[in-house]
Amino acid sequence: MELISVSNVKNCSAVIFNGDGSWEKKDDFDIPKPPKGGAVLAVEAVGLCHSDVAQLNGQKHVPGEVSPTVPGHEIVGRVYDLDSESELEVEIGDRVAVNIVVPTEPSDVNPFGISCYGYSFGLDKAEGLWGGYGEYMSILPKTQLERLTNDIPAEELTIFEPLSNVIAWTSRIRWSQKMKVVIQGPGHMGLTFAAMAKQMGADKVIVTGTSEDDHRLSIAEKIGADFVIDVSNEDPVEKITDITGGMMADLVVDLSSAPLVPGLCLDLVRYGGDVIWAGLKDREAVPVITDNAVMRGITIHGGAGGTNKSLKEAVEILNTKEFPTAPLLGEVFTIDQIDEAMAVLNRTTANDAVRAVLSHTHK
């Protein structure tokens, strides 16, 4: 365990999303005091995803989501301070993964009492630091914290949150060693799914993308995909038919932002197979012929977040040091480089990356 102690530094920096497409960095946040029964985390790194872009632009999709706020939900850090009454079962210096979901008191705007770090807490709550874009953040009691290995860089370990999601989704599938799995969309979620499917013993893992995804498809091959398909130049239905001998895939996963993919899933899956829809489309309507699901007995699953159980399992897998975290890292940025990080997420840069991560250094 790397030792960490409460320093004499009183202030820290964080990035604020205003919810209107703008952001600002503030350097005079007070380092939090532990909430009653809680803790303070020195954030080492936070993973970014497309939902960060949506949040930046004010699209709200989390219970009780507020703006402005300090965002960031794929959080890895070290316990910096603990309340004397804390029951979080961690010690100062422990490196931990933070479950984004935490139970809080129900309210008019959040009747279920489910809050999310990086989304649900405004700048007016305590010191205002409740997300991974801050160098430090408050941790409430009842937060699930899982100890992570010290032998892998924190930036790589932020993959725990996507991995937790994948584990939760696959737990609902009738899995077998003969599974033929198609993953549409080689982003960080799609590639994480591909790596996990291979580790779970899938017979064939097939990742699809477009001509803009050359780099990501090459990473898919490095982490174990048996086939990659460039749908810009190849017909995915014909390719999957050929690969599977006409039987089609047992499981097809939509992890793309393209509106045609949910419907395409129904063309690629076998009779009685499973489909997971998990790629967000920014609330746009998509064309789907539902008869294809009805007449072929297809089971469709919505891919939301992970669970307490799947988070624990994800951390256990990462702590074995056998999951391919390095190829899935992508580009690392500081909190002075938010525009560059958002450009990577929006894919408006010259060089593509499978993922974007913010890394913090502490005074």
- Any domain includes 131: yes
**Domain tally, the chain:** 2
pLDDT given for residue 105 in this prediction: 86
Residue 348's identity, in one-letter code, is: T
- Give the tens place of pLDDT for each residue, 243-261: 999 999 999 999 999 999 9
- Any domain includes 308: no
Where b means 16+ CB within 10 Å and e means fewer, 53-63 reads bbbbeeeeebb
User: Comparing C-alpha atoms, which of 268, 296, 295, 213 is closest to residue 276?
Assistant: 268
Residues 273 and 336 in one domain: no
Residues 107 and 239 in one domain: no
- Any domain includes 45: yes
Q: How far apart are the first and last CA of the chain?
A: 19
Residues 112 and 242 in one domain: no
Please tell me the distance from the alpha carbon of residue 50 to that of residue 347, in angstroms, as a whole number.
10
pTM of the predicted protein model: 0.94
Mean pLDDT of 308-336: 98
Res 2 pLDDT > 50: no
Q: Which residues contact 82 (CB under 8 A, 6 or more apart)?
A: 34, 39, 40, 88, 90, 91, 92
Q: Which of 262, 283, 302 is the last residue of a domain?
A: 302
Residue 313, both tokens = 């399992």
pLDDT interval class at 7 (50, 70, 90):
low
What is the Cα 23 distance to its own chain's centre? Answer: 21
Residues 155 and 169 in one domain: no
Please tell me the distance from the alpha carbon of residue 180 to that of residue 176, in angstroms, as a whole number.
9
- Decide: 257 and 280 in contact? Cβ < 8 Å: yes
Please tell me the distance from the alpha carbon of residue 180 to that of residue 276, in angstroms, as a whole number.
14
Mean pLDDT of 204-230: 98
Mean pLDDT of 94-98: 99
- Decide: 54 and 280 in contact? Cβ < 8 Å: yes
What percent of the chain has pLDDT above 70?
A: 98
What is the domain-level CATH number for residue 177?
A: 3.40.50.720
- Give the tens place of pLDDT for each residue, 107-146: 887 788 889 999 999 999 999 999 999 999 999 999 999 9
Residues 127 and 171 in one domain: no
User: Comparing C-alpha atoms, which of 131, 134, 108 is closest to residue 120?
Assistant: 131
Q: Which of 287, 302, 317 is the last residue of a domain?
A: 302
Of 22-31, 59-68, 265-274, the range with the lowest mean pLDDT is 59-68
Res 350 pLDDT > 80: yes
Residues 290 and 335 in one domain: no
- Give the tens place of pLDDT for each residue, 149-165: 999 999 999 999 999 99
- Beta-bridge partners for 26: 14
Q: Which residues contact 244 (CB under 8 A, 6 or more apart)?
A: 180, 204, 270
Residues 250 and 177 in one domain: yes
- Beta-bridge partners for 263: none
Q: Which residues span the domain enclosing 175?
A: 162-302
Handedness of CA 74, 80, 85, 86 (dihedral sign): positive
Residues 226 and 123 in one domain: no
- Any domain includes 114: yes
Residues 264 and 166 in one domain: yes
Mean pLDDT of 49-71: 90
What is the domain-level CATH number for residue 48?
A: 3.90.180.10
Please tell me the distance from the alpha carbon of residue 49 to that of residue 118, in angstroms, as a whole number.
13
- Any domain includes 203: yes
SS3 sequence, the chain? CCCCCCCCCCEEEEEEECCCCCEEEEEEEECCCCCCCCEEEEEEEEEECHHHHHHHCCCCCCCCCCCCECCCCEEEEEEEEECCCCCCCCCCCCEEEECCEEECCCCCCCCCCEEECCCCCCCCCCCCCCCCCECEEEECCCCCEEECCCCCCHHHHCCHHHHHHHHHHHCCCCCCCCCEEEEECCCHHHHHHHHHHHHCCCCEEEEEECHHHHHHHHHHHHCCCCEEEECCCCCHHHHHHHHCCCCCEEEEEECCCCCCHHHHHHHHEEEEEEEEECCCCCCCCCCCCCHHHHHCCCEEEECCCCCHHHHHHHHHHHHCCCCCCCCCCCEEECCCCHHHHHHHHHCCCCCCCCCEEEECCCC
Residues 53 and 80 in one domain: yes
CA-to-CA separations, 261 to 119, 168, 206, 229, 234, in angstroms, rounded? 28, 22, 15, 14, 15
Res 3 pLDDT > 50: no
Please tell me the distance from the alpha carbon of residue 70 to that of residue 109, in angstroms, as a whole number.
19
pLDDT higher for 118 or 5? 118
Res 301 pLDDT > 80: yes
